[in-house]
Amino acid sequence: MHTFLTRGNAILAYTLSVSACLTFCCFLSTVFIDYRANATLNTVKVVVKNVPDYSASREKNDLGYLTFDLQTDLTPLFNWNVKQLFLYLTAEYQTENNEFNQVVLWDKIVLRGDNAVLDFKNMNTKYYFWDDGKGLRGNKNVTLTLSWNIIPNAGLLPSVNALGSHTFAFPPEYTTLRV
């Protein structure tokens, strides 16, 4: 009547259909959750240097150096559909050369089960804060924003901005000190 392969194919097709339906239900159960959280950011030390860029042109560009404080509780963001959070701190500013500049300064991965209450004091940036010219010195409107990508078991990969940001100014003079 039906061969072993025909019966195996029917069982496999049914199993895959049920798995796809359960995955879609997993996605639907968490798609409308608000994944925003409060974050408190503050800058501790802010300096700017004019140093040579190590590209082919060898012209001098601004290099910003800052340390920051970060406090946030990301525990409510974790549910049974969230595997991990990819956090990143960005600085946004405007210069004469560019209408909109955005630089990633720091990032961190928080896994489910890790301590999701972050309380960092006097943290150094993980990446350099280069400007493609001389747009950092005296810039009075640089905004730090914490954002995260949610890595789910099933569903969309939303990018979420924290509630709260911090605006600071770079000093009007270059520093000559080693930082």
The string of pLDDT tens digits covering residues 41-55 is 999 999 999 888 776
pLDDT-derived band at 77, boundaries 50, 70, 90? very high
Where are the domains positioned within the chain?
1-30, 34-168
Q: What is the DSSP string of 74-100?
A: -GGG--TTEEEEEEEEEEEE--SS-S-
Six-digit token pair at 31?
Answer: 């798609």
pLDDT-derived band at 67, boundaries 50, 70, 90? very high
Task: Give residue-wise pLDDT tens across range 6-28.
Answer: 999 999 999 999 999 988 888 88
At 171 the pLDDT is 92
Closest CA to 105 of 148, 160, 144: 144
Model confidence at 179: pLDDT above 80:
no
Write the CATH number of the domain with boundaries 34-168. 2.60.40
Six-digit token pair at 18?
Answer: 């049920």
| HEC sequence for 39-79 | EEEEEEEEEEEEEECCCCCCCEEEEEEEEEEEEEECHHHCC
Model confidence at 57: pLDDT above 70:
no
Task: Give residue-wise pLDDT tens across range 121-168.
Answer: 999 999 999 888 888 888 899 999 999 999 998 888 999 999 999 999
